[in-house]
């Protein structure tokens, strides 16, 4: 049995997220169907996480096992031809059996794209804020998220997890042309976490809440206290990190 790893990019606009759902168009569903057809065997594709409806991925990983010795370049070429233009297979690796696309990951980086000037080419892939945001203030708020904290206040309440602690390694916002890009890196993320953080930081930037209130929201562990959840169309999974020695020769 050989374990294989796919590095994938996708535009999630027309999909109901990564995970297979009954009667819905999903990234995992389309990839599994096409890969199973190409290999003439049922493939169990396991992703590095679960992106929600409409969320995009610049870098996403998924692994599967096969008894076959696969011609990687041939299957990669055919798979890219079979898949929707919205999904790209960037790399195809062999990995050791103890590798797991989700549990072997040590960090993930997301970006949220905020459009500051109306642009017909970007408006469907970003969150448009007509009212100017205070970038300096946004970053003051973003810095308060750094470190290991309980992020219950930024997680959908129905999520049942033993702990909601995440170690945030990077949290900053920068300007590029007519966009503000919020970048956050952590060892793990909770469901809806980035989108609710961005909504709260937008409120902070607009001075709807102050620094003490933002600190209180983080500590209180209550989703009802944090800001609105920004639309999924502006969220991008940018990078997934693994230990350097994880890939087999």
Give percent helix, percent strand, percent coil of the chain, each to the nearest 5.
25, 30, 45
Cα separation, 233 vs 62, in Å, equals 22
Known catalytic residue at 52: yes
CA distances to 121, 140, 148, 189, 234 from 124, rounded to whole Å, are 7, 28, 33, 24, 8
For residues 151 and 145, what is the distance between their CA atoms, to the nearest angstrom? 9
Output the CA torsion sign for 57, 204, 221, 156: negative
The one catalytic residue among 52, 65, 98, 160: 52
**Residues acting as catalytic residues:** 52
């Amino acid at each position: 049995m050989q374990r294989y790893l796919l590095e994938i990019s996708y535009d999630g606009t027309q999909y109901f997220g990564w995970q297979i759902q009954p009667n819905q168009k999903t990234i995992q569903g389309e990839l599994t169907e096409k890969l199973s057809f190409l290999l003439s065997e049922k493939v169990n594709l396991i992703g590095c996480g679960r992106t929600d409806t409409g969320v995009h991925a610049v870098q996403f990983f998924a692994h599967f096992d096969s008894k076959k010795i696969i011609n990687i370049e041939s299957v990669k070429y055919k798979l890219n031809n079979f898949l929707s233009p919205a999904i790209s297979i960037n790399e195809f690796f062999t990995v050791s059996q103890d590798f797991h696309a989700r549990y072997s990951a040590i960090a993930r980086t997301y970006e949220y794209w905020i459009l500051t000037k109306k642009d017909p080419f970007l408006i469907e892939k970003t969150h448009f804020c007509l009212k100017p945001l205070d970038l300096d203030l946004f970053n003051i708020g973003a810095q308060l998220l750094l470190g290991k904290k309980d992020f219950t206040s930024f997680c959908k309440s129905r999520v049942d997890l033993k702990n909601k602690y995440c170690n945030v390694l990077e949290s900053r916002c920068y300007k590029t042309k007519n966009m503000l890009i919020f970048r956050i890196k952590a060892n793990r993320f909770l469901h809806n976490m980035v989108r609710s953080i961005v909504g709260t930081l937008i409120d902070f930037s607009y001075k709807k809440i102050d620094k003490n209130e933002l600190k209180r929201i983080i500590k209180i562990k209550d989703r009802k206290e944090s800001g609105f959840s920004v639309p999924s169309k502006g969220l991008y999974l940018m990078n997934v990190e693994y230990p350097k020695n994880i890939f087999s020769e």
